[in-house]
Chains A and B, each alone.
Chain A
Amino acid sequence: MSQARINVPLTRRGFLTVAGATTAGVALASCSSGGSGGQRPDLSESVELELPTYVAPPEIPGGLVSEVEGMPAIYTQPIAEYTDSVDSPPLSGGEVSTFQVLWGAPPQDVPANEYWVSLNERLGGEFKPTLVAFDTYNEKMATTIASGEIPDLSFVQDTNAVAAQAINDGVFADLSEVLAGDGILQWPNLANVATNAWSASAKNGHLFGVPNEDPYLTNFPAIRYDLMAAAGYDAIPGDADGYLQMMSDIAALGSVNGKQHWGIAAFDGKAQSYVEWMFRAGTTWQVDDAGKVVNIIETDAYADVLTFHNSLWNAGVYHPDALALATQGNQAAELFTNGQVALTVDSFNGFFGAGIFRDTVDITPGAAPGLFVPPAFDGGDLLIQRNDGYWGMVAISAKAAQDPERLTELLNVINYWRAPDGSTEALFIHTGVEGYNYEFGPDNEIVSLDDETANADRAALQWLGAFKSPSFNIPANALEFVDNFRECVEVLTAATVPSPVVGIYNEAAVENGARMSEVDTDYRGGIASGRMDLSAIEEYREAWRAAGGDAVRDAYQAALDEA
């Protein structure tokens, strides 16, 4: 895996020789920047990529390090001592502009925003972010690019069509050379990025950014053990039939603690995927025995998955509005914390960061939420698709990177953001400013000051898009959930397998992604809820192929055949 060789033609449009545009277009064409920045990268030929050297992040005493590959370390105790991972400020004056996602409330301005003030000091320059709501990411990205004024650092979600096109168009600097091999050691925290994240995020052998590392598995199913007990179960049944029976019995409890109550709130991607694990439906893209690339929806196991969802639906396990709740993520999560739902699928961030477990227990006395390992349909093993290893990346403007000194500075900034657990920098990035966001307790534990404004100030600026290597830092008020969490995540992580197409850049997938997922949502929900008959699965597959499925498959097939 040290060398990735990928061969997919990246450019769909060749170089252009259109002369004078049109009379009408001239005025606007002249506004846009195109040519001034540089040129389109020639990505049509894939090249050998020398992957950056990997250096494991420093271990911190007290961390629970697992034997299971891909299982992040769990930290339950306060870190005794924080050390510096960066010896000098990343910038030497000046400023750094960024394009990054804003998930919540906007920040206050300097100087009221003490986090921002501190950030400027620590960076040694002025931090100037462009904060983008995720629902306007496409439009904002496109207009920013059209203006030609590309911020120094941009969060690039490269499964997103607009962002992927920007990479194709040469908006961002090719970092392959500067980061190759030991070159990366100049930025020690970047060297902590796992090798699979680099190779998965490379485009035909070119690195266009520092990937935002993802653990092997992000979302885990959790259940209310107290409701299980109320329905007469003290353990998760060993096969699909037993599981269906248990969920039906839980749903049949009806009103619990005076609240109306259901099995599962939302029929979303997360709730769908764990049933795929149960039926060993495999990875989204898989290679069959004949070497042919097939999609999960074309497998027989997938028909079983949909049938099972439909059985759950008919047994009243899903909330009647489960299809609608899938688009209202917030509400579904709140139904669980409110104690009205038995099962939810969420991330570490949801369970511990957003405090789903803590809140559930606080709101509903006697609630006992915890992760669980769903049974395989036949009592055998689960088969879980492993994450691709990254979720977006931080890219550097091609224009800014033309000056090698500036490029070094900008990599310094990302290096700062990627400071590992136990460093003063990570403490600052993820927790904030002492006395503003938090203070230290008697055992050096971090005690949040619960100042919403201060926390919003931090959260708004902090999400650059590349963070320390994954780890699970358990808040002090949620220690009771750790053992169960650790056990389940280890079992689930061990059952993951990588996708055979990970790291293959596929433009058709990016372009048709939204259409294909529309078809998916439509038929999955339709068949599960009984709006459509299971026999519609053939129509489903047909519609999906027409929506780009075949084009995507062909590209993967070509790439795999090449290799």
Chain B
Amino acid sequence: MAALLPTAAPTGETADRRPRHPGRPVWMGVPSKPVQAAKALTIAFIVLVMLYPFVYVIAMSFASREAAASGGLFPTSFSLDAYRSILGGDVVTRAMLVSIGITAVGTTLSMIFTTTLAYGLMRTRDVPGAKFVLVLVLCTMLFGAGIIPNYLLVRSLGMLDTYWSLIIPGLISAFNMVVVRNFFMGLPSELLESARLDGASDLRIFTQIVLPLSKAVLAVIALFYAVGYWNAFFNAMIYLNDTTKWPIQVVLNQYVVQGSALTSIQAPDQPPPPGQTLQMAVIVVATIPILLLYPFAQRYFTKGVLTGAIKG
């Protein structure tokens, strides 16, 4: 925290206010009352609008059959039936465990491969071929292969019906790599140069200088990867025949999309779609775990990492 505080308070006025907002740099000042009110209103509005669907989904998931059928904007009863029903067998719980495992392992591996590649491609001017590799990687953002070639590749690598098929094919996202690389390039180059001159190895520079100084972006990218792995559904649908290996999003799709939307066909003997309360309960169960990650990531990027740098 000390690093956040300036060496001298610029004005007396802000210095007085310091105790009221510990951690807030004194130079920031306090806006006038009307500005504060306007901000508060704007934010209250945004929060309300953003929160509504979530409150709705949660309220529906706890609604009784009758209350859900009331036709109002919010059901106002409390019933655990939907949760009892979806958590009754081991299908949902198992799918959750699969998703947690995929997300944890996948994010870890992705971070390792993404950051190393980003580091390797940092100095395109010094390293012959690096620029070429960078362009090669960028092109993958614009051109994609179809479903079938990807499937045949995964199959020929023997990864069908394995959890690896959900991790390896998307191991490095070109987008995330480029973001990390650009953050790395924003690090003070003197720092890296002098470490190099002191004889530090690349591995040492990477692990002891570059990574620790990039916590904010690493947290963001880890969040992106984690959310990506958690929400991925299509690959699982295509690569996994064994339903016991299905992650939660595939199960969620069965409950939510199947009952509506793009599949408005009528098959004879088609079982009835799950009720709305059931759908909402699955959404809640499938979404809450990944939402819990954000506060962890927040810890790294609301705290300035590079601030408090030494002045020359």
Interface residues, chain A, CB within 8 Å of chain B? 28, 31-32, 101-109, 112, 130-131, 133-136, 139-140, 142-143, 146-147, 212-214, 218-219, 259-260, 268-270, 326-331, 333-334, 337-340, 347, 349-350, 353-355, 363, 391-392, 451-453, 456-457, 459-460, 463, 467, 470
Contact bitstring B182-218, A, C-beta under 8 A = 1, else 0: 0000000000000000000000000000000000000
Interface residues of B in 273-310 (CB under 8 A from A): 273-276
B271 touches A463 (CB 8 A): yes
B268 touches A218 (CB 8 A): yes
- Given contacts A327-B261, A349-B272, A463-B271, A451 and B88 within 8 Å (CB-CB): yes
- Given contacts A134-B265, A467-B268, A457 and B89 within 8 Å (CB-CB): yes
Q: B126 near A: Cβ within 8 Å?
A: no
B-side contacts of A392, CB under 8 Å: 267
B274 touches A105 (CB 8 A): yes
Q: B148 near A: Cβ within 8 Å?
A: yes
Q: Which 5 residue pairs spanning A and B have beta carbons closest together?
A: A354-B272, A453-B89, A338-B69, A31-B152, A143-B151
B-side contacts of A467, CB under 8 Å: 268-269
B-side contacts of A218, CB under 8 Å: 266, 268
Q: B147 near A: Cβ within 8 Å?
A: yes
B148 touches A103 (CB 8 A): no
- Given contacts A218-B268, A327-B262, A340 and B71 within 8 Å (CB-CB): yes
A451 to B66, CA, bound (A): 20
Q: From B147, which residue of chain A is reached at the shortest CB distance?
A: A139
B69 touches A134 (CB 8 A): no
A142 touches B147 (CB 8 A): yes
Q: From B150, which residue of chain A is reached at the shortest CB distance?
A: A143
User: How many residues of chain B are within 8 Å of chain A by beta carbon?
Assistant: 52
A112 to B275, CA, bound (A): 24
Interface residues of B in 49-95 (CB under 8 A from A): 65-66, 69-71, 85-86, 88-91
A470 touches B268 (CB 8 A): yes
Interface residues of B in 209-259 (CB under 8 A from A): 234, 237-238, 241, 243-244, 246, 250-251, 253-255, 257-259
A456 to B90, CA, bound (A): 12
A-side contacts of B128, CB under 8 Å: none
A-side contacts of B149, CB under 8 Å: 28
A-side contacts of B266, CB under 8 Å: 218-219, 270, 347
Q: From B243, which residue of chain A is reached at the shortest CB distance?
A: A106
B276 touches A391 (CB 8 A): no
CB distance from B299 to the nearest CB of A (A): 37
B260 touches A108 (CB 8 A): no
- Interface residue SS majority, chain A: mixed
A107 touches B243 (CB 8 A): yes
A338 touches B71 (CB 8 A): yes
A451 to B270, CA, bound (A): 19
B70 touches A330 (CB 8 A): no
B268 touches A349 (CB 8 A): yes
- Given contacts A130-B241, A147-B152, A147-B155, A463 and B269 within 8 Å (CB-CB): yes
A103 touches B271 (CB 8 A): yes
CB distance from B273 to the nearest CB of A (A): 5
B-side contacts of A391, CB under 8 Å: 267-268
- Given contacts A140-B238, A363-B69, A105 and B88 within 8 Å (CB-CB): no
CB distance from A28 to the nearest CB of B (A): 6
A452 to B86, CA, bound (A): 8
Q: B263 near A: Cβ within 8 Å?
A: yes
B71 touches A260 (CB 8 A): yes
- Given contacts A106-B246, A218-B266, A327-B260, A456 and B89 within 8 Å (CB-CB): yes
A334 touches B156 (CB 8 A): no
Q: B264 near A: Cβ within 8 Å?
A: yes
Q: From B72, which residue of chain A is reached at the shortest CB distance?
A: A259
A105 to B85, CA, bound (A): 11
A369 to B222, CA, bound (A): 54
A330 touches B260 (CB 8 A): yes
**Candidate in B65, B71, B250, B259 with the most chain A CB atoms within 10 angstroms:** B71
A133 touches B271 (CB 8 A): no
A108 touches B89 (CB 8 A): yes
B267 touches A104 (CB 8 A): no
List 14 additional A-B contacts (Cβ < 8 Å) besides A102-B243, A214-B268. Answer: A31-B153, A31-B155, A32-B152, A104-B274, A105-B274, A108-B89, A133-B258, A139-B237, A330-B259, A355-B272, A363-B65, A452-B85, A467-B268, A467-B269
CB distance from B126 to the nearest CB of A (A): 33
- Given contacts A28-B149, A134-B265, A349-B272, A103 and B69 within 8 Å (CB-CB): no
B-side contacts of A136, CB under 8 Å: 234, 237-238
B148 touches A146 (CB 8 A): yes
B-side contacts of A32, CB under 8 Å: 152
A-side contacts of B153, CB under 8 Å: 28, 31
A355 to B273, CA, bound (A): 11
B267 touches A143 (CB 8 A): no
A459 touches B91 (CB 8 A): no
B147 touches A259 (CB 8 A): no
B-side contacts of A106, CB under 8 Å: 91, 243, 246, 250-251, 254
